[in-house]
Structure 1
Amino acid sequence: MTSAASAPRRIDRGRSGYKTVERKGFDAVLAAVTAAVTAGVVGTLIVWKLDRLSRKGIGQAGKVLDDIEKAGGHLVSVVDGLDTSNDSARMVVAMLAELARSESMNARTPPAADDIRAWCQACGVEGQTDDLIASLRTVEDMWIGWRRMERAGLKQAQEARLPLFERTRRFRSYSSWFVPGLIQTHGYTEAVLRAVQRRRVEVDDVADAVAVRMERQRVLYEGDRRFAFLVEESVLRNGLGGTDVQEEQLSHLLTVGSLPSVSLGVVPTRTHRSRMPVEGFWIFDTEQVNVELVSGYLTLTQPSEVAAYADTFTELADMAVYGVKARALITSAIQSLR
């Protein structure tokens, strides 16, 4: 209950928010709230997700919220996108608190989409319906570590993504690390996947995985699909695979960038950027975002989260160069290899 710069952090790692167990982090938060009420201090309680605060329903969550508001403060839930300084947020907090309790009571069986719609209608927050229905996805569905995803080998992981690519009509891809898979050459893909296999995968099926990724590239030439690729200029000079592989890949970018269905932008390296590089991500139509992080693969379907990545893509796209200017940067990178 203080400024963001000096706010204390409380963690109850591995402690249930539903069972009757000792939660030192939660108890410390309650003590801080009580002290804030007594002192009349205005502040903010920030939680990662509302069900991390409590799974005992509105009784417990509501008391915390009441005490915070008595101190003139408010509650912020990062993942849920809630800030109780907004009038409608308290209704949503009540609903999410009860849903978390119900989920725990019923062996973690999530509510149905119709239940969410009914709650939203009853609480007068129909505008939250789509986001909350998307939140029905469990954490396990949203996040998967690379070792789990690739434990049977890289080929299976590559095959698992094919249906998504086949049903998508509009692709947006941003990369600050390497050339996106759909526009990689065979040699470049082999270098990327070989590095992955050596680092974290026991099964060596790199050749098969490369073949699957190459076959997936057929979506570039089928149907009425549209593709927008953005890469940081540093991607053109990352050295993956050595000189010959790099030159072949960069030359391929010049070719694929001329396809009528493809937009290829390069974000130049320069000072005074209005937006810094971010993690690599794909946006599939307007339904789903996939984010590749160092430790795993994140799938986002909440409309607000998809929209946030779409906005980020637009900002980065506005900073990029295209056509002749993009080709000049790629050609310069090729010449630097010789």
Structure 2
Amino acid sequence: MSTASGIPLDPDEPVGSVLARLRKAAGLTGGQLGHRVGMSQPKISRIENGKGLPDPDDVGILARALGAEEEIVLLLMDRATGSRERMTDWTTGPMGLAGRQNTIGHWENATRSLRVFQPAVVPGLLQSSGYAKAILEDFQLLVFTDLRDRAVAVAEAVSARIRRQEVLNDHDRSFHFVMTEAVLSNRVCPPQEMLAQLLRLREAAAQENVTIGIVAADAPLSTPPFHGFELLDDRLVNVDLFTSGLISQGRTQAHLYRQVFDSLAAAATTEIEPVLDRYEALYLRLAQQERHIITEPGGRASA
């Protein structure tokens, strides 16, 4: 297959590369093309060089402006749609935990409506500093063997994660968090830190732009809580893994994850105070038990 200008079209050639060849064949610079279609030259450069996933509509606008036949336009738009639908590993380099936190924070700051589901741990935007430190220390064990490097990396990552939470103070944005009750029972840090985490959840839930739902342990579920994810403006799905992350900007993926989120949210209660009260009593009791343990000179512990 070839374009109207006779340029052969490789079925495996990236969309951006095809658009770049069409532009050069038309004798246009990136700036001239941008002026013609109302896009910035840097944006066109990013599309041509494959930096990020191009919007299919933008691809169609550029291809038509460059005189491509409608068949070619639709083919390029289909390719762009397919690339966005795929789940892509976004940690392609050794960015480290702090780098990952900064990347996610950048996405969140560009988002007006954020939906987060977590089946095992408190969502990052709701974590207390002590809870975040415990979580990130476990992650960092997979990356660093040097204890000094690990300590620095964890401290930087905790700081970056806490900075991410500043976005919650923007009341022009909305945040909906859903988590399973297992999140509260999973003892990822000492009882005192779990108590601080419960307080953090109470504080966040009091904000008008924040909704927190908890799926009770005995709640009937129509959708299994397989894994956690973030849905940003119903346009980007982020799945955080142990050593990397997966993203998709595909409309189909975003629609499916919105359905999953809505199903889990429907099974959750937003009357979370009684649930938090129950776990606060549990961790108070455990904290008191720890305080009553006295280590004797011989190394034995007795209550």
TM normalised by structure 1 equals 0.60
Give, in angstroms, the shift of residue 288 of structure 1: 0.6
- Measured in 2, the distance between the counterparts of 1:332 and 1:304 equals 39
Please tell me whether the aligned partners of residues 101 and 160 of structure 2 are also in contact (alpha carbons under 8 angstroms): yes
State whether structure 2 residue 182 is matched by structure 1 residue 239: no
Cα gap change, 1:292/1:152 in structure 2, threshold over 3 Å: closer, same or farther? closer
State whether structure 2 residue 220 is matched by structure 1 residue 284: no
Cα RMSD, aligned residues only: 3.4
- Measured in 2, the distance between the counterparts of 1:102 and 1:209 equals 38
SS at match of 1:212: helix
Give, in angstroms, the shift of residue 165 of structure 1: 1.6
| Aligned with 1:215 (options 126, 141, 163) | 163
- Measured in 1, the distance between the counterparts of 2:72 and 2:241 equals 37
- Measured in 2, the distance between the counterparts of 1:307 and 1:229 equals 18
Please tell me whether the aligned partners of residues 134 and 301 of structure 1 are also in contact (alpha carbons under 8 angstroms): no
The unaligned stretches of length 5 or more in structure 1 are 1-56, 58-97
State whether structure 2 residue 54 is matched by structure 1 residue 143: no
| Aligned with 1:176 (options 119, 124, 148) | 119
| Aligned with 2:241 (options 293, 299, 311) | 293
Give, in angstroms, the shift of residue 115 of structure 1: 8.8
| Aligned with 1:330 (options 250, 270, 276) | 276
Cα gap change, 1:143/1:285 in structure 2, threshold over 3 Å: closer, same or farther? same
Letter in 2 for 1:246: M
Give, in angstroms, the shift of residue 103 of structure 1: 4.5
Please show how residues 122-137 of structure 1 align to structure 2 within 5 Å.
122=71, 129=77, 132-136=79-83
The unaligned stretches of length 5 or more in structure 2 are 2-8, 19-48, 286-303
Give, in angstroms, the shift of residue 144 of structure 1: 3.8
Please tell me whether the aligned partners of residues 221 and 264 of structure 2 are also in contact (alpha carbons under 8 angstroms): no
Cα gap change, 1:271/1:219 in structure 2, threshold over 3 Å: closer, same or farther? closer
- What do residues 194-249 of structure 1 show as CA deviations (whole Å, max 9, x unaligned)? 11111234542111211111112111002401000000110011101111111110
Letter in 1 for 2:207: L
TM normalised by structure 2 equals 0.67
- Measured in 2, the distance between the counterparts of 1:285 and 1:114 equals 23
Please tell me whether the aligned partners of residues 116 and 133 of structure 1 are also in contact (alpha carbons under 8 angstroms): no
Please show how residues 183-222 of structure 1 align to structure 2 within 5 Å.
183-202=126-145, 203-204=149-150, 205-222=153-170
- Measured in 2, the distance between the counterparts of 1:100 and 1:179 equals 44
Please tell me whether the aligned partners of residues 290 and 300 of structure 1 are also in contact (alpha carbons under 8 angstroms): yes
Please tell me whether the aligned partners of residues 116 and 176 of structure 2 are also in contact (alpha carbons under 8 angstroms): yes
| Aligned with 2:259 (options 289, 311, 336) | 311
- Measured in 1, the distance between the counterparts of 2:116 and 2:59 equals 30
- Measured in 2, the distance between the counterparts of 1:117 and 1:318 equals 43
Percent of aligned positions that are identical: 25
- Measured in 1, the distance between the counterparts of 2:246 and 2:99 equals 17
Give, in angstroms, the shift of residue 273 of structure 1: 2.4
SS at match of 2:121: coil
Cα gap change, 1:115/1:136 in structure 2, threshold over 3 Å: closer, same or farther? farther
Tell me what 2:60 maps to: 114
| Greater Cα shift, 276-285 or 200-209 | 200-209
Please tell me whether the aligned partners of residues 117 and 230 of structure 2 are also in contact (alpha carbons under 8 angstroms): yes
Give, in angstroms, the shift of residue 271 of structure 1: 6.1
Tell me what 1:78 maps to: none
Give, in angstroms, the shift of residue 156 of structure 1: 2.1
List structure 1 segments (4+ residues) > 4 angstroms apart after TM superposition.
Answer: 109-112, 115-121, 123-126
Please show how residues 16-165 of structure 1 align to structure 2 within 5 Å.
100-103=11-14, 113-114=59-60, 121-122=70-71, 129=77, 132-136=79-83, 142-144=88-90, 149=93, 151-165=94-108
Q: Which gives a bigger RCO, structure 1 or 2 (Cα 8 Å, sep 6+)? A: 2
Cα gap change, 1:295/1:152 in structure 2, threshold over 3 Å: closer, same or farther? closer
Cα gap change, 1:135/1:120 in structure 2, threshold over 3 Å: closer, same or farther? farther
Letter in 2 for 1:101: D
Letter in 1 for 2:117: Y
Tell me what 1:22 maps to: none
Give, in angstroms, the shift of residue 166 of structure 1: 1.3
- Measured in 1, the distance between the counterparts of 2:106 and 2:244 equals 20
Cα gap change, 1:296/1:122 in structure 2, threshold over 3 Å: closer, same or farther? same
Please tell me whether the aligned partners of residues 169 and 224 of structure 1 are also in contact (alpha carbons under 8 angstroms): yes
